Amino acid sequence: MSDIAILKEMINTAATLPLEDRHGKKQVILREPPPANYAITIYGMPQDDEAIIIKADAFSSPKAVFQGEHGECKRADFVIIADTDKRKVILCLEMKAGKGGTEAEIIQQLKGCQCFVAYCREIGRVFWNQPNFLKGYVYRFVSIRDISISKKPTRLPSNSPTHDRPDRMLKISSPHHLTFDFLVK
């Protein structure tokens, strides 16, 4: 059984988003419900059996266990886990309608998302008896801001480092036509 199939068995469907067909290609619409009430679309997604989109903040905050003084109770909005012929990637995404949230807070949310994935990894290893579950995946971290502001072309700066750590997240402002390949470079 593939890692994606195990995750689809593991994660409650209420905490996932479906992929949609658009002109023979896959896309996903990431929505923040009211009062935030905004959305972005990611085009060029992998096939249904190659990816899962999880609303990471649907997972109840662990405030009953942790004090939360270091941001350990925070989580990013979404995590996309994909296993394709080209790559194995875990993409953690935090979205903000405006300029809200400091960079330090967004880093905490992305770290919380990484911890959520680590928890899922251990569940797969222990309860599904898969010692290599989610092994060999690379992380990518993305912050998307100013979603409700008029769209601008989305370009990756030519000298930007790989966004493989929360503190080196890819920062996108006023996104327009985001593609999966662009986000996981």
pTM score, two decimals? 0.90
Residue-wise pLDDT tens digits, 12-22 = 999 999 999 99
Residue-wise pLDDT tens digits, 30-81 = 998 777 778 899 999 999 999 999 999 887 777 778 877 888 888 999 999 9
Bridge partners, 55 (sequence order): 78
| Tokens, residue 24 | 């023979």
How many structural domains does the chain have? 1
Query: N- to C-terminal Cα distance for the chain?
Result: 27
- Reply yes or no on whether the pLDDT at 149 is more than 70: no
Give the other-Cβ count within 10 Å of 67's Cβ.
8
What pLDDT does 14 receive? 94
Beta-sheet pairing, 38-45 with 25-32:
antiparallel
Identify the three-state secondary structure at position 93.
Answer: strand
Residue-wise pLDDT tens digits, 119-148 = 999 999 999 999 999 999 999 999 998 776
Q: How far apart are CA 175 and CA 149, in angstroms?
A: 9
- Reply yes or no on whether the pLDDT at 160 is more than 80: no
- Segments forming the whole domain that contains residue 43: 3-183
| Tokens, residue 7 | 């995750």
Q: How far apart are CA 140 and CA 162, in angstroms?
A: 8
Report DSSP state, residue 27: E
